[in-house]
């Protein structure tokens, strides 16, 4: 029995200890965000957070991350209440087929959480592990830059006591 | 909407010469007939000679109807309204990630004069929608969008007439507001009430009461894509996300190379593994079904380790592939020609350009679900053509097409004919082996990479002469290429069918005739050359599996033409933009060229800076569809051969724009994808088989090489026919990059990919010869 | 403790050396700057420039002298040494911040003696003890090549060396102790042209011993242990004088393939700090790489008459192996298992033959698991994803135990969890 803490909720799953986290999330918790793109850690479509760090869930054993907080895109926000990053992706219409996008968002969210003052060059560097085949890169970068700006503004507002 | 008038640059008919008399049987001038899949009761569709192979009109009268109303004239095939005012619009096209779900919703909403949110669009489903062939060739908006535009306008008018009768007022007293039909006297009816007694089961008329573009409220606006919110929040959006009750998970085991035979495999040992339901073996076809997906993957690995194969494949040597292709038997096709008077030639240039096999490289490998229940097979698939797929499956399974339903559910971007149809065939074959349970088949990354039908390798030769005033006086162009269209003409085109104990044979390859073309797509120059001769050496023998990839031959042909135009401009000591305008009278072509050059700041007197270059290119896709001009500025780092694209400016004219943001998205995407193809991509193989099995062995553009800036400018043509924008940027981008690299390095590169392996390094080619 | 004593002895020695050297060597004269930047007469020097380009690839100059996202040769890369961080210099021909006004004499002195144009002493992180062996013609060629690069205005970044090592004149003492200027002596026996060329490249511009020879306490190569192995950036640079002792003895052809393409059959892929070396050696003509391999193969002890006896593998911790097997199946098998596509289609060697897994120390295996092997822009790469954020230290120990026993047929290394924790702390923090 493997216990996974996903988006703040614990789940006890009777799964093979060799099962990668990707399949535990998709098939045992019915979460769609993390996707199978390669199963090799080469494309990032499966990116989720473990303990705040972005990992490839396709090569992360579910059994290895018991007891660590796991966060998927479903834990960031919903269509009705999107997080700043999700909102920015919608604003920029940053998707064509969209298959890579959940992974892009999770990758960018990790940077936003740890280095919210990153420059565009740093953002581009940080996205290197993630592939997009449709060529949506410009909008992805634009959306992320927008979200970083929005969060920076929020911090400034908070610092100056302004209310959202 | 009138059909496009014939144009001197698009020869209406072409003369074929055929090598082998035996092949004449398969050539029917002007159309492509499905002749191989006839079973009792099967539908044989006469298909248009276009890449999307949509059905032709069934009668002369229907032939006058706009768009695909010609082949599906019944209004209620496209639009239904129920008593609760729910509006359902049907399209035979599929949402591939291009945004047509939103665009068609806008089109219908505009003509029905309701908010887009009131429209429910149903896409590609053999059980529900019109048959519009494949979602391919940039035909969707032009053919399906046009049909919906007209059908919706006619339905609107019929509703008004019906409401007029019910309210006993003239139709002119009625208008549509806020989803209701409102009379000047204040009374109103819902659509649901107005449709009562109105039979939409009637043929459309040739002329529709279209809303004037000046009054558009929705069409032409950047309505946000309906599908994006779910895609950014983990909503179920793809066939990969479907979960059906009792669903089983399957994996295919593919042979080690083309044509291999399965000698033996220890199925019993794998069937004993946890969760395994069945090993499916039929000749050399091998697959495994399990309850859980990870169990299926472990079982697949075990089967792979246990299987022993007899291999036969002997692929061509990569270093001499172009020589190999040039020596293959060929069918000669004249793609276009013109003869006229011209001044004497004073200078002749010629050059050869080459393109390797390219991979679609879908980011999400193919997936399908099939369920055989009570003699009926349902298949959920991201294949581009659910109707042709159904035909192929019917033959494969010896079932009646009416007993098979293929429903399109989006997958990852396919960019042409990828293994989506093959995955559907896998799912159907396996579902047949475990009837009653839905079976989900997911292809693995290496299966997608090594078994997909690639974009064919191509050779293009061009020779042209200039007169004393620097004008082109003659132009000879030759293409060598395999077929760019190995779609589901019969069951044998489905990969799994070729490995059954009683295998199906793929139908022989057929060229797509011009003006659409396959390998010869966009090979006829749009420029006003007094003499030109364009020949397509169609190569039926395919040593490597190939089929349609975004743009088909247009990518290589426009790359070649627009690179060579620059070479000619240089020989004429002319500015590349001015040289193009010198030879182009097409007004819309001139407009996009002028717009791109202006927005880019194209400066003929720009000083040469070593390592920096700008390049320009232009094309009208197929000489029929969207016009696109593009300028690129880039750097080449001499020490490494790295290419850094600093900025790209594109200008596009796609006729009446449905969704400007959607057009921009597609054009930007095509620019980046084409840049990746042009600079980095080539399928690797050796005699033993395909060796590009993952992203490390088939690298594509990563964020480190993404351009710094891309801007796309749109020219709107209100009321003009919709032209397809999805493939317009592939070819021009390649040439603009080639031209910029030539300016930056002084080296004219004619062989793709341009930057792979450090080819553009300052001393590459010298150092390695030591 | 041993380390502190070593340092104290080393420190005392360096003071003494300094006292001697400072008088003799510390104050070097400046060489006058050229009145204008050296004119790039690339046309009549085309072949000299091309020759210089080749030497720059052999010497891997661009790797150290280019910052991440920096312009080529404009410097600014932080280089970790046991004595602190040094930043590489701008060697583009910029007149103010680069070497645009350096004469050939000044450039030659820098390569041969470790002295900058203005007379200050350079640190041997710049491997001038190797470059000193280059010929005059080659130094002139390298000079010509660098003078034709694009000038970049990029001022030097201040170094961060620990006192007293930030006092450059101390280097005079170091040079007095350790620098043997000038070309290699001719070999005792007659050798083939390839061997001679290979020795010249290996000992000279390619400076292999800088990483592959152990360092003494003063940061110089131990004179008695050439190519006996070293440590660089937290990775072990394996001994180059024991290649034939590998589970499958290295052949010359394999060594050439490894150096030229970054991968060898029956061995594995270049990773860590060796990866960029192979990326630059890839740009050399194969004859040069073959020459280097010829020389390196001549350093090998005679191959054992029989392969080393199979090591008796003590009974492993079954629970650890089970845990490791599950981790391996989830994380590694898709690439590394028998029958995996990377093996069968990609033709890659079995995991058990890789030097990281067969080495006596787990250091490189731990680093590989933590870092993976990176992408190379949009070019092809022998890529491996990183697992630093996937596995904890015990899981690294478990998965490596499984890989060692099951694939390399060797006993699990002891103490891997603790060593992984220590290596994580050593590594630069992200």
Provide residues of A within 8 Å CB-CB of chain C: 16-20, 39-42, 50-51, 53-56, 59-65, 121, 125, 128-129
Contact across the interface for A18 and C326, Cβ inside 8 Å:
yes
pLDDT value, residue A7: 98
In this predicted model, what pLDDT tens digit does every residue of B26-77 receive, in sequence order?
A: 222 223 333 333 333 344 457 788 889 889 888 888 889 999 999 999 999 9
Q: Out of 3.30.365.10, 3.30.2130.10, 3.90.600.10, 3.30.300.30, which CATH number does the structure's domain B239-312+360-451 have? A: 3.30.365.10
Q: Which chain C residues are within 8 Å of A123, Cβ to Cβ?
A: none
pLDDT number for residue C246: 86
Compute the mean pLDDT over every residue in chain C, rounded to the nearest whole number.
91
Weakest mean pLDDT among A30-44, A49-63, A149-163: A149-163
CB contact under 8 A, C288 and B770: yes
Q: Which residue of B has its CA nearest to A129?
A: B702
Find the radius of gyration of the CA atoms of chain B. Answer: 27
Average pLDDT, stretch C86-105? 96
pLDDT at B35: 32
Chain A hits for C331, Cβ within 8 Å: 20, 59-61, 64
CA distance A158 to chain C (A): 28
pLDDT of residue B43: 45
pLDDT tens, position by position, B615-633: 999 999 999 999 999 999 9
Nearest to B475 by CA among B555, B538, B567: B567
Strands (E), C88-226: 160-161
**Is a pLDDT exceeding 80 seen at residue B555?**
yes
Portions of chain A given CATH number 1.10.150.120: 76-164
pLDDT digits (tens, 9 = 90+) for B735-766: 999 999 999 999 999 999 999 999 999 987 64
Nearest-angstrom CA–CA distance, C86 and C161: 7
Q: What is the 3-state secondary structure (H, E, C) of B173-230?
A: HEEEECCEEEECCCCEEEHHHHCCCCCCCCECCCCCCCCCHHHCCCCCCCCCCCCHHH
Which two three-digit tokens encode residue A30?
Answer: 């019915």
Residue A53: its chain C contacts at CB < 8 A? 389
Answer whether C54 touches B (CB < 8 Å). Answer: yes
What is the model's pLDDT at position B16? 33
Dihedrals phi, psi of B361, to nearest 5 degrees? 60, 45
Give just the sign of the alpha carbon dihedral B759, B763, B767, B769.
positive
The verdict on C173 and C197 lying in the same domain is no
Side-chain-side CA neighbours of C30 within 13 Å: the count stands at: 6
**A160 to chain B, minimum CA–CA distance in Å?**
31
Verify whether the Cβ–Cβ distance B446 to C288 is below 8 Å. no
For residues B171-183, average pLDDT:
93
A79-102 average pLDDT score: 97
Structure tokens at B306: 């246990």
| C325 is a domain residue | yes
Q: Which positions in chain A touch C332 (Cβ < 8 Å)?
A: 59
Are B363 and A97 inside 8 Å of each other by CB? yes
In CATH, what class is A76-164? mainly alpha
Query: How close does chain A come to C388, measured CA to CA in Å?
Result: 9
- Average pLDDT of the residues in C169-187: 90
Nearest to residue B565, comparing CAs of B512, B629, B487? Answer: B629
Name the residue with tokens 């809303």: B211
- Is residue B18 predicted with pLDDT exceeding 80? no
Domains of chain B, by residue range, sit at 11-46, 49-233, 239-312+360-451, 458-484+519-769
CA distances in angstroms from B543 to B313, B685, B766, C190, listed in the order given: 9, 11, 33, 53
List C residues 284-343 in contact with B (Cβ-Cβ < 8 A).
284-288, 329, 333, 337-342
**Phi/psi at A19 (nearest 5 deg)?**
-75, 125
Chain C contact present for B757, CB below 8 A: yes
Q: What percent of chain C has pLDDT over 70?
A: 92
Per-residue model confidence (pLDDT) at position C305 = 56
For residue A65, list chain C residues with Cβ-Cβ distance below 8 A.
390
pLDDT score of B6 more than 80: no
For residue range C245-296, list pLDDT tens digits in order. 888 999 999 999 999 999 999 999 999 999 999 999 999 999 999 999 999 9
Q: Does residue C168 carry a pLDDT above 90?
A: no
Q: Is residue C303 part of a domain?
A: no
C37 and C162 within one domain:
yes
Contact list, A141 vs chain B (CB under 8 Å):
703, 706
Taking domain B49-233, whether its CATH number is 3.30.365.10 is answered by yes
Q: Which of C268, C297, C326 is the last residue of a domain?
A: C297
Least trusted range by pLDDT, from B3-7, B429-433, B462-466: B3-7
Chain C within 8 Å of B690 (Cβ-Cβ)?
yes
CB–CB of C345 and B450 under 8 A?
A: yes
**Range with the poorest average pLDDT among B329-338, B654-663, C309-318:** C309-318
- Distance (Å, whole) CA B633 – CA B631: 7
Residues making up chain C, counted from first to last: 430
Closest Cβ–Cβ partner in A26, A78, A97 for B412: A97
Cβ C377–B705 below 8 Å, yes or no? yes
* Segment B563-611, tens digit of pLDDT: 999 999 999 999 999 999 999 999 999 999 999 999 999 999 999 999 9
> In terms of CA atoms, which chain B residue is nearest residue A128?
B703
Contact state of C331 with A59 under an 8 Å Cβ cutoff: yes
pLDDT at C169 over 90: no
Q: Is the pLDDT of residue B21 over 70?
A: no
Q: Are residues C81 and C216 in the same domain?
A: no
Given a cut of 90, whether residue C421 has pLDDT beyond it is yes
Determine the pLDDT at residue C303: 62
Tens digits of residue pLDDT in C346-359: 999 999 999 999 99
pLDDT for residue B257 is more than 90: yes
pLDDT class for B15, splitting at 50, 70, 90? Answer: very low
Interatomic CA distance for residues C331 and C333, integer angstroms = 6
Print the domain residue range for C202. 193-297
Assigned CATH class of B458-484+519-769: alpha beta
Closest C-chain CA to B756 = C379
In chain A, which residue's Cα lies nearest the Cα of B707?
Answer: A138
Give me the residue from C288, C341, C347 closest to B694, CB to CB.
C341
Chain A adjacent subunits, 3+ CB pairs under 8 A = B, C
- Proportion of chain B above pLDDT 90, given as a percent: 90
- B372 at interface of C, judged by CB pairs closer than 8 A: no
Closest CA relative to residue C53, chosen from C183, C153, C143: C143
Residues of chain C positioned with their CB less than 8 A from the CB of B445: 341
What pLDDT score does C2 carry? 64
Q: Does domain A1-75 have CATH number 3.30.300.30?
A: no
Q: Per-residue pLDDT tens for B469-489?
A: 999 999 999 999 999 999 999
SS (H, E, C) B683-708: CCEECCEECCCCCCCCCCCCHHHCCC
- Residue C17 domain-assigned (yes or no): no
State the burial class of residue C391 (Cβ atoms within 10 Å of its Cβ: 0-12, 13-18, 19+): buried
Using the structure block, give the residue that is written with the tokens 């058990």: C352
Q: For residue C398, give Cα distances in angstroms to B5, B20, B340, C353, C358.
A: 72, 65, 79, 19, 16
Q: Which two tokens stand for residue B769?
A: 């010869």
Report yes or no on C15 lying in a domain: no
Same fold, B239-312+360-451 and B458-484+519-769: yes
Structural domains in chain C (count): 3
Instruction: Please give the residue that has the higher pLDDT: either C1 or B558.
Output: B558
The answer to whether residue C113 scores a pLDDT higher than 90 is yes
Residue B571 token pair: 């020989």
User: What is the ipTM, given to two decimal places?
Assistant: 0.96
Query: Three-class SS of residue C99?
Result: coil
Query: CB distance from A132 to chain B under 8 Å?
Result: yes
| Nearby residues of B174 by Cβ (< 8 Å), 6 or more positions away | B160, B163, B164, B167, B181, B182, B183, B184
Average pLDDT value for residue range B695-704: 98
Q: In terms of residues, how long is chain A?
A: 164
- Which domain CATH number covers C198? 1.10.760
In a domain, C55, yes or no: yes
Query: Residue B311 pLDDT more than 80?
Result: yes
- Chain B residues within 8 A of A32 when measuring between CB atoms: 234-238, 241
Q: How far apart are CA C112 and CA C136, in angstroms?
A: 10
Coil, strand or helix at B170: coil
Contact A27 B274 (CB under 8 A): no
In this predicted structure, what is the pLDDT of residue B45?
Answer: 56
Which regions of chain A carry the CATH code 3.10.20.30?
1-75
Q: If you count them, how many residues does chain B have?
A: 770
Give yes or no for residue B10 having a pLDDT over 70. Answer: no
Q: What are phi and psi of B36, to 5 degrees?
A: -100, -10
Confirm if A103 and A37 have CB atoms less than 8 A apart.
Answer: yes
Q: State whether residue C375 sits within 8 Å of chain A by CB.
A: yes
Task: Give the pLDDT score at C44.
Answer: 52
Burial track C226-260 (b if 16+ CB lie within 10 A, e otherwise): bbbbbeeebbbbbbbbbbbbbbbbbbeebbbbbbb
Q: What value does the mean pLDDT take over residues C157-172? A: 83
| Angle in degrees, CA C240, C244, C246, rounded to 5 | 90
Contact map slice: B 253-292 vs C, CB within 8 A: 256
- pLDDT over 70 (residue C180): yes
The pTM score is 0.94
**Across the interface, which of A20, A42, A129 has its CB nearest the CB of C330?**
A20
Which of B694, B702, B756 has the CB atom closest to C375's CB atom? B702
Do the chains contact at A18 and C330, CB–CB below 8 Å?
yes
What is the average pLDDT score of chain B?
A: 93
CATH of the domain at C346: 1.10.760.10
């Amino acid at each position: 029995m493997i216990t996974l803490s996903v988006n703040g909720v614990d789940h006890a799953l009777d799964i093979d200890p060799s099962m990668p986290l990707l399949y535990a999330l998709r098939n045992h918790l019915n979460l769609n965000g993390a996707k199978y793109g390669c199963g090799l850690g080469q494309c990032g479509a499966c990116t989720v957070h473990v303990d705040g760090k972005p990992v490839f869930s396709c090569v992360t054993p579910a059994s290895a991350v018991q007891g660590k907080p796991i966060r998927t895109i479903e834990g960031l926000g919903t269509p009705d209440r999107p997080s700043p990053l999700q909102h920015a992706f919608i604003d920029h219409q940053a998707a064509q087929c969209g298959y890579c996008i959940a992974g892009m968002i999770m990758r960018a969210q990790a940077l936003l959480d740890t280095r919210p003052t990153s420059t565009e060059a740093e953002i581009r560097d940080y996205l290197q592990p993630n592939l997009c085949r449709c060529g949506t890169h410009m909008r992805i970068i634009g959306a992320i830059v927008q979200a970083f700006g929005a969060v920076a503004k929020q911090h400034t507002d908070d610092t100056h006591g302004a209310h959202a | 909407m009138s059909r496009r008038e014939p144009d001197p640059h698009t020869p209406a008919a072409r003369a074929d010469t055929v090598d082998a008399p035996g092949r004449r049987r398969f050539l029917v001038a002007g159309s492509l007939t499905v002749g191989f899949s006839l079973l009792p009761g099967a539908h044989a569709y006469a298909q248009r000679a276009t890449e999307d192979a949509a059905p032709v009109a069934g009668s002369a009268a229907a032939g006058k109807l706009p768009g695909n109303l010609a082949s599906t004239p019944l209004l209620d095939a496209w639009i239904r309204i129920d008593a609760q005012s729910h509006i359902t619009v049907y399209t035979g096209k599929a949402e591939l990630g291009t945004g047509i779900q939103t665009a068609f919703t806008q089109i219908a909403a505009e003509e029905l004069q309701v908010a887009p949110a009131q429209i429910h669009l149903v896409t590609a489903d053999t059980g529900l929608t019109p048959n519009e062939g494949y979602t391919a060739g940039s035909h969707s908006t032009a053919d399906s969008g046009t049909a919906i535009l007209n059908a919706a306008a006619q339905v609107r008018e019929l509703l008004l007439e019906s409401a007029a009768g019910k309210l006993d007022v003239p139709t002119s007293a009625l208008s549509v507001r806020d989803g209701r039909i409102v009379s000047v006297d204040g009374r109103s009816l819902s659509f649901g009430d107005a449709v009562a007694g109105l039979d939409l089961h009637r043929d459309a008329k040739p002329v529709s009461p279209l809303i004037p573009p000046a009054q558009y409220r929705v069409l032409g606006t950047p309505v946000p894509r309906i599908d994006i919110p779910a895609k950014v929040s983990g909503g179920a959006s793809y066939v990969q996300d479907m979960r059906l009750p009792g669903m089983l998970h399957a994996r295919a085991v593919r042979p080690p190379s083309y044509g291999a035979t399965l000698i033996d495999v220890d199925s019993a040992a794998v069937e004993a593994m946890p969760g395994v339901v069945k090993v499916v073996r039929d000749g050399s076809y091998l697959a495994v079904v399990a309850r859980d997906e990870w169990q299926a993957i472990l079982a697949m690995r075990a089967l792979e380790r246990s299987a022993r194969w007899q291999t036969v494949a002997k692929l061509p040597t990569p270093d001499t592939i172009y020589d190999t292709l040039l020596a293959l038997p060929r069918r000669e096709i004249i793609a276009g020609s013109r003869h006229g008077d011209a001044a004497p030639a004073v200078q002749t240039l010629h050059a050869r350009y080459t393109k390797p096999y390219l991979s679609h490289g879908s980011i999400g490998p193919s997936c399908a679900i099939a369920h055989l229940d009570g003699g009926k097979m349902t298949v959920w698939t991201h294949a581009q053509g659910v109707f042709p797929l159904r035909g192929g499956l019917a033959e494969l399974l010896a079932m009646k097409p009416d007993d098979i339903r293929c429903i399109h559910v989006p997958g990852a971007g396919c960019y042409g004919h990828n293994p989506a149809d093959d995955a559907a065939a896998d799912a159907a074959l396996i579902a047949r082996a475990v009837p009653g349970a839905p079976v989900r088949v997911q292809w693995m990354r290496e299966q997608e990479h090594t078994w997909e039908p690639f974009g064919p390798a191509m050779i293009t030769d061009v020779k042209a002469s200039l007169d004393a005033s620097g004008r082109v006086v003659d132009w000879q162009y030759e293409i060598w290429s395999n077929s760019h269209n190995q779609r589901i003409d019969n069951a044998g085109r489905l990969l799994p069918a070729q490995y059954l104990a009683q295998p199906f044979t793929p139908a022989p390859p057929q060229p797509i005739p011009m003006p659409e073309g396959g390998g010869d797509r966009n090979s006829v120059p749009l420029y006003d050359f007094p003499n030109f001769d364009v020949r397509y050496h169609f190569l039926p023998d395919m040593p490597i599996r190939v089929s349609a990839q975004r743009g088909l031959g247009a990518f290589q042909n426009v790359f070649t033409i627009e690179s060579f135009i620059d070479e000619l401009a240089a020989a004429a000591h002319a500015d590349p933009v001015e040289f193009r305008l010198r030879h182009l009278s097409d007004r819309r072509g001139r407009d996009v060229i002028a717009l791109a050059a202006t927005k880019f700041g194209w400066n003929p007197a720009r000083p040469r800076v070593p390592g920096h270059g700008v390049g320009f290119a232009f094309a009208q896709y197929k000489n029929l569809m969207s016009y696109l001009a593009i300028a690129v500025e880039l750097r080449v780092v001499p020490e490494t051969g790295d290419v850094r694209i600093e900025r790209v400016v594109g200008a596009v004219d796609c006729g009446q724009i449905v969704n400007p943001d959607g057009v921009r998205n597609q054009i930007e995407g095509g620019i980046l994808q084409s840049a990746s193809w042009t600079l980095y991509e080539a399928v690797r193989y050796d005699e033993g088989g395909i060796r590009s099995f993952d992203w490390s062995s088939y690298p594509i553009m990563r964020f480190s090489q993404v351009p710094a800036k891309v801007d796309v400018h749109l020219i709107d043509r209100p009321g003009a026919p919709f032209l397809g924008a999805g493939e317009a940027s592939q070819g021009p981008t390649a040439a603009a990059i080639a031209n910029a690299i030539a300016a930056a390095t002084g080296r004219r590169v004619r062989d793709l990919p341009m930057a792979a392996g450090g080819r553009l390094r300052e001393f590459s080619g010298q150092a390695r010869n030591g | 403790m041993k380390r502190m004593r070593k340092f104290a002895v080393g420190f005392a020695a360096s003071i003494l050396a300094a006292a001697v050297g400072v008088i003799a060597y510390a104050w070097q004269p400046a060489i006058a700057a050229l009145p204008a930047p050296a004119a790039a007469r690339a046309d009549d020097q085309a072949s000299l420039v091309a020759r210089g380009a080749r030497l720059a690839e052999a010497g891997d100059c661009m790797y150290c002298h280019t910052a991440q996202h920096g312009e080529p040769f404009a410097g600014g890369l932080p280089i970790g040494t046991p004595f602190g961080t040094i930043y590489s210099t701008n060697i583009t021909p910029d007149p103010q911040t680069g070497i645009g006004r350096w004469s050939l004499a000044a450039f030659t002195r820098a390569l041969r003696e470790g002295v900058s144009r203005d007379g200050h002493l350079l640190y041997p992180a710049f491997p001038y003890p190797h470059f000193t062996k280059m010929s005059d013609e080659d130094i002139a060629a390298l000079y010509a090549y660098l003078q034709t690069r694009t000038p970049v205005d990029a001022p030097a970044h201040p170094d961060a060396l620990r006192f007293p090592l930030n006092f450059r004149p101390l280097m005079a003492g170091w040079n007095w102790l350790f620098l043997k200027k000038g070309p290699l002596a001719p070999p005792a026996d007659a050798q083939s042209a390839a061997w001679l060329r290979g020795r010249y490249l290996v000992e000279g511009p390619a400076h292999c011993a800088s990483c592959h020879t152990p360092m003494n306490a003063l940061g110089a190569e131990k004179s008695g242990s050439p190519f006996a192995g070293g440590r660089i950036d937290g990775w072990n640079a394996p001994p180059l004088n024991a290649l034939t002792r590998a589970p499958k003895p290295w052949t010359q052809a394999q060594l050439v393939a490894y150096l030229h393409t970054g991968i060898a059959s029956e061995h594995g892929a270049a990773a860590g700090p060796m990866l960029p070396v192979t990326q630059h050696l890839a740009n050399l003509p194969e004859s040069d790489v073959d020459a280097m391999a010829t020389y390196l193969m001549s350093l090998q002890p005679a191959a054992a008459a029989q392969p080393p006896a199979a090591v008796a593998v003590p009974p492993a911790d079954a629970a650890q192996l089970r845990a490791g097997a599950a981790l391996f199946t989830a994380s590694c098998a898709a690439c590394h298992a028998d029958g995996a596509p990377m093996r069968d289609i990609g033709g890659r060697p079995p995991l058990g033959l890789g030097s990281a897994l067969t080495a006596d120390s787990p250091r490189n295996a731990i680093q590989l698991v933590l870092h993976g092997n990176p992408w190379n822009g949009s070019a092809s790469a022998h890529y491996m994803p990183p697992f630093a954020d996937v596995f904890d230290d015990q899981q690294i120990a478990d998965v490596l135990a499984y890989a060692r026993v099951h694939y390399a047929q060797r006993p699990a290394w002891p103490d891997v969890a603790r060593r992984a924790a220590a290596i994580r702390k050593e590594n630069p923090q992200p």
